[in-house]
Every structure is written in structure tokens, then in C-alpha cells.
Amino acid sequence: MMTDPEIRAHILDAIATVVPSSRGVPLTDDVDLREELELDSMDILRVLVGVKERFGVEVPDADTSKFFRVGSALAWIKTHASSP
């Protein structure tokens, strides 16, 4: 199983795939990505596609809001991915 820093790195990579300018931006676990990076709903969906590719888990619509912040995304992945 991956460590928290490894999972976090994969989340940040999924975000950077959608918003390349986010590379190098210090994103704390509690920052709202929609505000900080100006992500819209389509951007969030693209991030979720990256999460599915990296961790093999599909995020249900009801849990989409967990991916507005890195910390809650990390917690969700730890709970739902059997072996990311």
C-alpha cells in the first residue's frame, strides 16, 4: 500500500495533468482547489478520471466534493482504494 506522501503526489499529478500551471504551487491539504486553481466542474471530472487511472477506483457522484481539497481526496482514496 502506498504511503500518504505517495498518494498525495499522485493526486497532485492528476491535478497537474488538468492544470499544468499548478505544478510547483504549494497546495495544502485544506485549500479549496476550485478557488485556488479556478477549477470548474469539468476540470474536477478530469481530475477524477486521473484518480481512476492511477488508483483503479471510480468516484461516485455523491463523493465528488471530496476532491475539492487534497486532504479529503487523500482520505477518500485511502478508504476506498484497496491497494493504490
Instruction: Name the residue with cell 471530472.
Output: 45
Are 68 and 32 within 8 A, CB to CB? yes
pLDDT of residue 81: 87
Residue 69 is assigned to a structural domain of this protein = yes
Judge if pTM exceeds 0.95: no
For 18-54, the pLDDT digits (tens) are 999 999 889 999 999 999 999 999 999 999 999 999 9
Residue 23 is assigned to a structural domain of this protein = no
Residue 17 has pLDDT above 80, yes or no: yes
Mean pLDDT calculated for residue range 50-75: 95
Residue 63 has pLDDT above 50, yes or no: yes
- We report the CATH number of the domain holding residue 69 as 1.10.1200.10
CA atoms within 13 A on the CB side of 54: 21
For the chain, how many structural domains are there in total?
1
Alpha-carbon gap, residue 30 to 58, rounded angstroms: 23
Are 15 and 25 within 8 A, CB to CB? no
Range of the domain at 62: 4-18+31-80
Q: Which three cell numbers stand for residue 32?
A: 479549496
Alpha-carbon gap, residue 23 to 63, rounded angstroms: 25
Amino acid at 53: E
Residue 46 is assigned to a structural domain of this protein = yes
- In this prediction, residue 84 has a pLDDT band, given cuts at 50, 70 and 90, of very low
